[in-house]
Structure formats: C-alpha cells, structure tokens
Chains A and B, each alone.
Chain A
Amino acid sequence: MKTTTLAFTIATLVSLALPLSARADSELSTYQALGEKPGLVKIMDDFMGNLLADARTRPFFEKADQTRIKEQLVIQICAVLGGPCTYEGAPMGPVHASLGIRQEHFNALVEDLQLAMDKQGVPFRAQNKLLAKLAPMHREIITR
C-alpha cells in the first residue's frame, strides 16, 4: 500500500506541475481551433444572440452597441490568443465598473459563450484554453 500512496503522491505532484510545461503550448493553436478571425466573427454573432436570449444576461446587452461589442470581442480574443490583432479598446475594469455585474451573470455569460463555441464545432479542449485566458477577468468585471 505504501507504494500506491507514493505513486499517487507522485501523480498528484506531476499533475500540479503540468500547467508549467503546458504554458509552452502554442496559444496560436487555440486561435486556429476557433477558426481564426472568420471563426471568431461567427462565434461572436451566435454569442451575442445567446446573450440577448438569456434572461440573466439580456439586461446588460439589449441597450448596448451590440455590433461594436462583437467587433471588440473578436479583436480582444484574437489578441489574447496571440493572433495578428492589437486590442486598443477600453480596459475591462472601467467599462464594467458601473454595471453591477454579479458572479451569476459572469457565469451565465460563460455558458452562453460555450454554447456559441459548441455551435461552431470548437473542440472542448480549445474552448477551455480560451476560457482559462478569459476567466481571470472576473476580478475586473464582477463588481458586486
């Protein structure tokens, strides 16, 4: 049993170290899995549709400039994944400061994004790589 304990301890430690080597993973491959810019445009179209259909997120988007938000999201995600874009839009914090976004809204938005990526056939692992990049933004976006 001692050996098994040791084996599992090693497995756990190795697993905790995995993300380090995975950092070397090319973010560009995620960008490609999303279908590059044309793919992102389609995903953001579906995404916005989902956000407007979802009662939890609709209030934050129905009166906003949806076309501009979609464009900015395409550029931002492209830039975050190392694609050939430079995000020059507003920083996340000030843009969201007055919106009173709670964690439930943030999570609902993630679900709507997952659905949009599902629809465009983005592989689950690539979806998770993108979500891992976006998740830390919760600190600037969730203000309540």
Chain B
Amino acid sequence: MRHIKGLTLLLALGTALPALAASDKLLLTGGVSQLEGAAGGGLTPWAVIAGYGTRDQIGGSAFYTNVRSQDYELGAGGVAVGLWDRVELSYARQRFNTRDVGGALGLGTGFAFSQDIFGVKVKVLGDAILDQDSWMPQISVGMQYKRNDQGAVLQAIGAQKDHGTDFYVSATKLFLGQSFLANVTMRQTKANQLGILGFGGDKKDGYSTQFETSLAYLLRKDLAIGVEYRTKPDNLKIAREDNWYDVFIAYQPVKNVSVTLAYAQLGNIVIKDNQRAPYLSMQLGF
C-alpha cells in the first residue's frame, strides 16, 4: 500500500512540477536519484545537479526506490531542487523493514528503522557534459545530514549516535565521444549501513574515508547500463558490514521520467549474510 501511495504522489508531482520550471538539460545527463536523495547513480552521488535546470533555471526531481533482499526491504523516497545548475538541496526518507529478522531479534516482526536525510551539494568547477575538449571533470562537494528515529535500539546495538553528517566530494565526467560516463566520490562518514543502524560504533567511532564509483555506458539517447561500487565503514561489533555493488539499467521513456532497474549485492546485514536485492527506482525530473 505504502508503495502505491508513494507512486501516486510521484505521479501527481510529475504532472504538477513541469509547469513550475523550464527544463532544458540534455537527456540522461542529470543522473537519477541515489538512495540518499542526491542526484547520482543508484548508490552514489554524482557531481551533477538535480533536475533539468540550466545555469539560468531552477530544476528538480522526485523519486521513489524500493530494494528488497531475501530478508529485508528498504524503501526510499524524496525530492531535490537544483538551483541554477549550481546548488542542489535534497530531502529523502528511508524506511528499512526488518521483516522476520525483527521478530528473531525481539524487536517485533516488521520492525522498521526510518531516517530523514537532508542534503546539500554545490558544484565547484567544470562541466561534466559540455567541456568535451578537456579532461576536467565536473567537481562538486556535498553533505548529508541524517537523523534516525530509533535512538534506543541503535544504542542497544552499539551505535554511538542516532544522527550524523556525511561529507563528500564527487567528480563526474561524460566522455561523449565514447558514450561513456564515469563518476568517483570520496565520502567522510560515520554511518552504519547508510545510517539505518546509526552512526559510529563500539568497534570504531569516528569518520572514515569511503570510496564510491559509478560507470555507465550510453546505449541510446534514452538507455544506459552500468555498474556501481560503494565501500562502507565497519563500526559495529554486533555485525560485519560489507561493501555494496550493483549492475543497473536506466531507461528514460520521456524526458521527465526515468526508471532504473538494478541488481545489488549488499553482503552481510546484521544476522543475515549474502543479501542480494533487485532495485527498482522511478524518477521524475523537470
């Protein structure tokens, strides 16, 4: 039901938003919405600014993503505004359903962690799309403030905080002549499993540097395939945390709508190992 509501809201927004602003960036060059709400790949932020707004315009996007592994389910939805192709403000809410695992851990079947994520990203230099005669990628810096709603449980599993801030720098370059896009992101974070399991831990408390990358190949104007990889900290004694990767296909049937389908390897999550998940995301951009 919740998913249907999410989609209905998206569709309603989709019909309302284009009227608010012009939209003149090039197709599939704005990325999609990553899990934490920033414009990017599925797992990682890119240096691009959300939406189709150019340097004289305001653009934006809205998304809903569902990731369901054997034992867990993550739903994420959010909105982002891109100001003059320079500043991106985003909000996302994630809900992580522990399903039967919650019951096994005494939290109750279907116990869920939710978190709000407020993001800001600023383009510092370069143009990923237009500067095709130069090696210079587009570079942006960003931060994501996250607040989890299950402070008591997080404390019990060894997390140090129920809120935290990630800082990142992203470099994105479209190699148009090769129909190829590359992104590299370095992130400073304390977040356990994106923050779903809190921030900092009893094994390690403190920021660590993580590496994320997306590689995409454009098959057609409206179709891209690629891979992503994201390293993660390992702060909690209670459970090992693994790096994530995925393969994806993104399709943009019309300019304002994109659909991303991925298959993600999420590794160990608390008491369940080898979590694999289809990832489905729908995005509206204007």
Evaluate whether A136 and B231 lie within 8 angstroms (CB atoms) in the complex, with A12-B213, A18-B175, A19-B175 already known.
no
A76 to chain B, nearest CB (A): 16
Contact A1 B177 (CB under 8 A): no
A96 to chain B, nearest CB (A): 15
A74-116 vs B, Cβ < 8 Å mask (1 yes, 0 no): 0000000000000000000000000000111101101100100
Q: Which positions 96-141 of chain A face chain B at CB distance < 8 Å?
A: 102-105, 107-108, 110-111, 114, 118, 124-125, 128-129, 131-133, 135-136, 138
Out of B176, B227, B245, name the residue touching A128 (CB < 8 Å): B176
Contact A144 B229 (CB under 8 A): no
* CB-defined contacts of B231 to chain A, threshold 8 Å: 1, 5
CB of A67 closer than 8 Å to a CB of B: no
* CB-defined contacts of B221 to chain A, threshold 8 Å: 114, 118, 124
CB of B261 closer than 8 Å to a CB of A: no
CB of A143 closer than 8 Å to a CB of B: no
Out of A1, A18, A124, A144, name the residue touching B219 (CB < 8 Å): A124
* CB-defined contacts of B57 to chain A, threshold 8 Å: 104
Contact B56 A144 (CB under 8 A): yes
CB of A11 closer than 8 Å to a CB of B: yes
A3-17 vs B, Cβ < 8 Å mask (1 yes, 0 no): 011001101100110
- Interface SS majority for chain A: helix
How many interface residues does B have (CB within 8 Å)? 41
In the bound assembly, the distance between CA atoms of A114 and B29 in angstroms comes to: 14
In the bound assembly, the distance between CA atoms of A104 and B24 in angstroms comes to: 5
Q: Which positions 204-250 of chain B face chain A at CB distance < 8 Å?
A: 211, 213, 215, 218-221, 227, 229, 231, 242-243, 245
CB of B132 closer than 8 Å to a CB of A: yes
Using a Cβ cutoff of 8 Å, how many contacts connect chains A and B?
Answer: 100
Evaluate whether A56 and B24 lie within 8 angstroms (CB atoms) in the complex, with A15-B182, A124-B219, A124-B221 already known.
yes
Max chain A C-beta neighbours (<10 A), residue from B177, B227, B229: B177
Out of B132, B182, B215, B242, name the residue touching A136 (CB < 8 Å): B132
In the bound assembly, the distance between CA atoms of A5 and B130 in angstroms comes to: 30
Contact B179 A107 (CB under 8 A): no
Contact B130 A138 (CB under 8 A): yes
Q: Which positions 116-159 of chain B face chain A at CB distance < 8 Å?
A: 127, 129-135
Residue of B nearest to A16 (CB): B182
* CB-defined contacts of B85 to chain A, threshold 8 Å: 103
- What 17 new A-B contacts, CB under 8 Å, besides A12-B213, A132-B175? A1-B231, A8-B227, A11-B213, A11-B215, A11-B227, A102-B54, A103-B55, A103-B85, A104-B24, A118-B221, A128-B179, A128-B218, A132-B132, A133-B132, A135-B176, A136-B130, A136-B132
Chain B residues with a Cβ under 8 A of chain A: 22, 24-27, 54-57, 85, 127, 129-135, 173, 175-180, 182, 184, 211, 213, 215, 218-221, 227, 229, 231, 242-243, 245, 267
5 smallest CB-CB distances across A and B, nearest first, come from: A104-B24, A132-B177, A132-B176, A103-B54, A136-B133
Q: List 29 A-B contacts (CB under 8 A).
A: A4-B245, A8-B229, A8-B245, A12-B182, A12-B184, A15-B180, A15-B182, A15-B215, A18-B175, A18-B178, A19-B177, A19-B178, A102-B54, A103-B54, A103-B56, A103-B85, A104-B24, A104-B57, A107-B26, A107-B54, A108-B24, A114-B221, A128-B176, A131-B132, A132-B132, A132-B176, A133-B177, A135-B129, A144-B56
